[in-house]
Structure 1
């Protein structure tokens, strides 16, 4: 070790020296590469993203601490075409020899080829030139920092700078800020010329952002402008604009105080060549006219009209809409004051009908009353019928590759009340290496189905709900019915669904969905294929049958036949074999049999659910926000009530049936929280936590497979494949492992590598367990706090390419903590390239 250590040290130091030289390779003599900006305010080093964004020069970007793009730029050759000709003319016969092969013209063209010049151009374009410290930009940064503190009331702030060398051709800039004392607001007064504006101002004066004794802050002045403008424009002042609010700020340097005077002058109107001051008016709405097609702007083309509840409807041709349906989506009302809020709500609500393009709303002064406005709403209808065809290439937890095609027909304004009917058919062929495929066919999955959905732009319910769910909450009702047939996917299934749900938005960033009834009927078409699909269960059973089977007819050669496997389970459970209850092999076989019964049974699920969603994201560029989703579901209560009124024979399991099928009965609750923190320069930290629990009761001892939880996969714990993690410490021994309790959490650091290529470092934790159901094996069940030791941890690195309209994602996951192993072997035993779990996905996992 003593002999090796000096060599390692030498290699390490050589690497540091090489790295130091390489990053300054293209820094000119006498210049310095900017490595860091330090802002020291009142003797304290601060990290402020707003100040950092103001600086005129920032260091080269880094990838995990390394200036990757700068290194790419440094690899590019300067004037590679000139170097090519130097090389070409270095030997007298080199050009002639090349010309004999590719001609003189091609020899010259080589100077612009990718290998000679193109690669260097690519490296320069993809890379990033070294940021050279520039005295002019230092002065610019100082002025911006000074301005930043000036806006916070530090009118005497002083900013100095120093360039501090940190190595060969490298330096950092230290900005030193002495803020001095900040100024506070002392007196606040107003000069408002229009009496009506002055009266409105007094009503909301107490909610001002500008308060006596508060530190001066220009942001508060801007917020106050916005607040006043919004209030005035929502209370009839149609002509008021944000630039009408001005401030006269009187500074007293001696005692660091500021006197603020609001100045709102009358508006200025151009009459001829002069500007004339005119007091602001408070306007009321005298008419609301709705033109149901844009050509109705020309009054001579109007051929049909009708009035309904103070709304006038006009049409070019027959009016194809029930006036009530459109009126219910309009918030501008005759007799009300002009309001921007009502105009905005009207635009959103009319668009939400999904039978018009975004509406155009204009106001004109009433020629018969100078204090009134006429509101004209111009609507452009969408096509009544629309045929859409699409084809998609997909990847999911079940399919490695799939091709999906769909054909949909949309009918708008079906009953002349803005209803929308959608009829869709779809088909899918796919490939999965995880499913049984004895004939080795690439497309070994097939699925086809049809859906019918009708949407109402209101709450469609026998009881009037308008006092609870107001129309400004944009309520909608959806009724949908679907039938799907799957082939070669597991046991093959027919799946019928019927859903009636209501959606509304109590607030801008909040939505609620109530599923009044959600019916799902799943029929297994090929239950005899069970042991061909669940091969892990079959292999375990086959091994045990070699020892305990009592019937040679159960075998086909030296393997259990499918029927023989079922017979063997029945023999063991009935006590016909040497195994007795309580023995581990007995319990293992019984467990396989119970799982088979559960998975081959047809399912009837009739549930109701309430889902609450909140998302604070304010736009595509917003990187700091959170989203929260909570859902509560109850299944089986309505079915149980009907079953008791129409008694049927009980099933083989002793459970009640409806239409000859056991119905599911359970309570389920789950929540999902995602938080994003934007760090600037395309760097984001994201966090997600999820918890879900489904509890069977009454007519059920377990949760239907379609409503249970699984762990692993591209959107979950990426150290494991989908369905391969858990339950608990059992080791994922089943082909599709699922349970009724799930806890999960993930954290991911996202960063830009170059251009549209982004990277991520991630850690995913979580597991699934059985609880309150018919599973008793301790390795599968949640047994209190101690079971938290079975939370698996997967870590890894990912790469993403942003196509603007979607993101393609590759994640390399590793089992960092594997609860399926012995306690002393759980950490870091699977972190090597040979055990990489590769996950492909579309868009971000959360």
Structure 2
């Protein structure tokens, strides 16, 4: 370990030396560019609004950018200089110089007039109409920088906004009708970006009222800055050059649908006899699809005005239904724009009815099992001519546990699953439908899995579900399974003596080997805006609610212990809720602060004091509190190594009815596809009621924070977009099972001690980010 640390320090020293001595290779008259500096109104004591943000924006617009640096060390330039001039265009030195390194950025590359114009243009767009920018350079030794002095003047505000008079026509009436929603408000700052968005807003209003050929480019915002007092008047007008076709609304005359469209058979398809169904002319001689399907896909009606909402909803539904390879909506004017009607032609090219997919994936689970899985899936589309989809899959996987007490434990699994998806709500009640851009789905699934876990046990799991999935909008997704049945059986060796010996050494297996019969309902809600890269802050939230045996318990027979049975099988009765909140804050382009809060609570009743084992919460592992092996923390202040019953166990599975987890991670780019991370995790699990054999396992709200386990560490990630491989190294800084007052263990940290490293350092290899 000491040799590795010395090697790393030596490499870092070489890089620092190479970066610091980067100017010695410069030619006479060359200067290393160290960056730009922006001064705003240096001769005035008056600061502008948001001066810090404006300065940062101006600085970001200067070009070129200096060499990359971390903590002042230009590491990429260091690689470039350390490699030197390679003799051949290949080999290690060439790779280091071209892939890891970058050439020095010179002061001569700075174009002051160009940067002056860019910065001045930005200030004017923000309302500083009298702004001026002057740039200069400053050198010291072999280094130089650019200094930009911005004199902004006062920022202009909006005094008055006027729109076209109502008397100028129907278009003007629509604009005036919606002017209360205008983004241009008297008293607001002059902002060119707001002006652009106002034109888009007006265009959207017109598109919703049939103005199919209108465009934001046909609007002009005339600005009058001669009113004095640093104020402007804005007049919104339609350009005189706007074509006649853009100034009138259009309605839909015909709706022609070609669901089996093929370019090579275009003429024959168009000449075939259509089926007239409601407002649609459906050209499908083979009757590949049932006509009512298009009621759920196409929102346009004959003789109605065109509107953008119906256009977007129709396209989204046709694209996302999963049976069409390509979708095209063509709006054709009648009589070369002289009429005010459009024909809508919808061309749909179907995907193949049957397809077979084969995949090999890597797996990384929360219980420290890693391995691979081979999966074959047969997909049949449009099964009942209503765009239904049947997926039948068979998979097999092999896993090995790479950490924890059971390190080296191998297992394999065989899984068969059938899933039938209907692109609509199928309910006992009529009239339930969705009219947004997203297809609601009814999903029926049935699966079986055999899990063979080394010499410990075999697990058989049967699961069936009937439920619904739908998107409220692009941010919100719902999943509701009114019926969910899970039956789990397991088996150990038939040799009673051997069986008892295994259970005595590994008491945690008793929980796994219990039969589980869970029949109930589940609901899940997800909100995310992670797909919006422009946001400074992205969030993700998932909340789940699961009930077991609540309704079905009314039909079961009551056992002496208060539990219920159906068909001789004991029914698990419980309520389980979990909330997972994640926040991703972009400090800069290549620096993200990611945080997570995960809370869970389970309540069991009907003769049972804890949740069924397969529904309990766990802590530790690659995606949880990484300073401990999977499922080795808790419950509460209990620690299996301190218990005579569990200390020699070869299989550790500590779990609880309550969970709290907090994680925070600083993610930063190193180079190329390599990223680094510094993180801290904290949390624990508890039983709702104390287990007498595990003292300290019960939950007490007043004492819960004192029983948090805390770990920290660092990681390296290879992020190639299509996959992420992660290596995290973590160690504990707070051990909840220590005596009160001795739980923080900062004083025990000693990286140079081999014994400490063996007992405390935990290596986590994972696929994908932890959250």
Fold equivalence (TM over 0.5): yes
**1:723 to 1:29, Cα distance in 2 relative to 1, 3 A:** farther
Q: Report the counterpart of residue 319 of structure 2 in structure 1.
A: 351
What is the rounded CA distance, in whole Å, between the counterparts of 2:565 and 2:731 in structure 1?
Answer: 45
Post-superposition CA distance 1:648-691 (Å, at most 9, x none): 755xx663322322221111111111111223332211111111
- Within a 5 Å distance, the mapping from 1:676-825 to structure 2 comes to 676-733=584-641, 735-772=652-689, 777-822=694-739, 823-824=741-742
Contact 2:620–2:632 (CA under 8 A) maintained in structure 1: yes
Contact 1:695–1:740 (CA under 8 A) maintained in structure 2: yes
**1:631 to 1:119, Cα distance in 2 relative to 1, 3 A:** same
Q: Report the counterpart of residue 41 of structure 1 in structure 2.
A: 40
Q: Report the counterpart of residue 208 of structure 1 in structure 2.
A: 182
**1:771 to 1:812, Cα distance in 2 relative to 1, 3 A:** same
Contact 2:16–2:75 (CA under 8 A) maintained in structure 1: no
Q: Report the counterpart of residue 528 of structure 2 in structure 1.
A: 615
Contact 2:16–2:73 (CA under 8 A) maintained in structure 1: no
Q: Report the counterpart of residue 488 of structure 1 in structure 2.
A: 453
Equivalent pairs, count: 730
What's the secondary structure of 1:461's corresponding residue?
Answer: coil
Contiguous gaps of at least 5 residues in structure 2: 1-9, 647-651, 752-756
Q: Report the counterpart of residue 151 of structure 1 in structure 2.
A: 125
What is the rounded CA distance, in whole Å, between the counterparts of 1:771 and 1:443 in structure 2?
Answer: 31
Contact 2:128–2:155 (CA under 8 A) maintained in structure 1: yes
Which of 248-257 and 770-779 deviates more?
770-779
How far apart are 1:522 and its partner, in Å? Answer: 0.5
> In the alignment, which of 425, 441, 463 is matched to residue 476 of structure 1?
441
What's the secondary structure of 2:457's corresponding residue?
Answer: coil
Post-superposition CA distance 1:78-110 (Å, at most 9, x none): 3x43xxxxxxxxxxxxxxxxxxxxxxxxxxxxx
What is the rounded CA distance, in whole Å, between the counterparts of 1:124 and 1:347 in structure 2?
Answer: 45
**1:176 to 1:777, Cα distance in 2 relative to 1, 3 A:** farther
Q: Report the counterpart of residue 267 of structure 2 in structure 1.
A: 298
Q: Report the counterpart of residue 626 of structure 1 in structure 2.
A: 539
Q: Report the counterpart of residue 251 of structure 2 in structure 1.
A: 284
What's the secondary structure of 2:339's corresponding residue?
Answer: coil
What is the rounded CA distance, in whole Å, between the counterparts of 2:136 and 2:733 in structure 1?
Answer: 46
What's the secondary structure of 1:46's corresponding residue?
Answer: helix
How far apart are 1:223 and its partner, in Å? Answer: 0.7
- Within a 5 Å distance, the mapping from 1:318-717 to structure 2 comes to 318-367=286-335, 370-398=339-367, 400-432=369-401, 444-466=410-432, 469-470=434-435, 472-488=437-453, 490-526=456-492, 562-563=499-500, 597-619=510-532, 624-643=537-556, 647=557, 655-717=563-625
Q: TM-score, normalised on structure 2?
A: 0.87
Contact 1:267–1:279 (CA under 8 A) maintained in structure 2: no
Post-superposition CA distance 1:117-150 (Å, at most 9, x none): x504532442122333348434433332222221
What is the rounded CA distance, in whole Å, between the counterparts of 1:25 and 1:182 in structure 2?
Answer: 46
Post-superposition CA distance 1:131-188 (Å, at most 9, x none): 33348434433332222221111112233456566x7534554444332211122232
**1:172 to 1:780, Cα distance in 2 relative to 1, 3 A:** farther
Post-superposition CA distance 1:254-288 (Å, at most 9, x none): 4212121212136655xxxxxxx556221111211
What is the rounded CA distance, in whole Å, between the counterparts of 2:260 and 2:245 in structure 1?
Answer: 36
What is the rounded CA distance, in whole Å, between the counterparts of 1:207 and 1:626 in structure 2?
Answer: 28
Which of 690-699 and 151-160 deviates more?
151-160
How far apart are 1:618 and its partner, in Å? Answer: 3.7
What is the rounded CA distance, in whole Å, between the counterparts of 1:320 and 1:332 in structure 2?
Answer: 22
What's the secondary structure of 2:189's corresponding residue?
Answer: coil
How far apart are 1:787 and its partner, in Å? Answer: 2.1
How far apart are 1:377 and its partner, in Å? Answer: 0.8
Higher relative helix content? 1
Post-superposition CA distance 1:489-526 (Å, at most 9, x none): 55211100011111112222111111111111100122
Contact 2:631–2:655 (CA under 8 A) maintained in structure 1: yes
What's the secondary structure of 1:637's corresponding residue?
Answer: coil
Post-superposition CA distance 1:335-366 (Å, at most 9, x none): 32111221111111122321112410011123
Answering whether residue 212 of structure 2 is matched by residue 257 of structure 1, we say no
Q: TM-score, normalised on structure 1?
A: 0.80
How far apart are 1:461 and its partner, in Å? Answer: 0.5
What is the rounded CA distance, in whole Å, between the counterparts of 1:279 and 1:597 in structure 2?
Answer: 75
> In the alignment, which of 199, 206, 211 is matched to residue 237 of structure 1?
211
What is the rounded CA distance, in whole Å, between the counterparts of 2:231 and 2:405 in structure 1?
Answer: 80
How far apart are 1:710 and its partner, in Å? Answer: 0.9
How far apart are 1:410 and its partner, in Å? Answer: 1.3
What is the rounded CA distance, in whole Å, between the counterparts of 2:355 and 2:395 in structure 1?
Answer: 16
What is the rounded CA distance, in whole Å, between the counterparts of 1:708 and 1:312 in structure 2?
Answer: 55
> In the alignment, which of 71, 75, 83 is matched to residue 76 of structure 1?
83
What's the secondary structure of 1:24's corresponding residue?
Answer: helix
Contact 1:184–1:257 (CA under 8 A) maintained in structure 2: yes
Contact 1:326–1:350 (CA under 8 A) maintained in structure 2: no
Q: Report the counterpart of residue 59 of structure 1 in structure 2.
A: 66
How far apart are 1:700 and its partner, in Å? Answer: 2.0
**1:706 to 1:63, Cα distance in 2 relative to 1, 3 A:** farther
- Within a 5 Å distance, the mapping from 1:834-845 to structure 2 comes to 834=758, 835-845=760-770
Larger Rg: 1
Which of 497-506 and 304-313 deviates more?
304-313
Q: Report the counterpart of residue 200 of structure 2 in structure 1.
A: 226
What is the rounded CA distance, in whole Å, between the counterparts of 1:492 and 1:309 in structure 2?
Answer: 57
Post-superposition CA distance 1:182-241 (Å, at most 9, x none): 112223234589612111101111111112222110011011011111111121001111
Post-superposition CA distance 1:280-339 (Å, at most 9, x none): 221111211111111364255654531221111102x41111100122121122232111
What is the rounded CA distance, in whole Å, between the counterparts of 1:509 and 1:722 in structure 2?
Answer: 32
What is the rounded CA distance, in whole Å, between the counterparts of 1:236 and 1:355 in structure 2?
Answer: 30
What's the secondary structure of 1:736's corresponding residue?
Answer: coil
What is the rounded CA distance, in whole Å, between the counterparts of 1:212 and 1:787 in structure 2?
Answer: 54
Q: Report the counterpart of residue 6 of structure 2 in structure 1.
A: none
**1:563 to 1:669, Cα distance in 2 relative to 1, 3 A:** closer
**1:759 to 1:673, Cα distance in 2 relative to 1, 3 A:** same
Post-superposition CA distance 1:362-406 (Å, at most 9, x none): 111234991211111111111111122222233334464423122
Which of 670-679 and 174-183 deviates more?
174-183
Contact 1:39–1:46 (CA under 8 A) maintained in structure 2: no
**1:113 to 1:374, Cα distance in 2 relative to 1, 3 A:** closer
**1:300 to 1:640, Cα distance in 2 relative to 1, 3 A:** closer
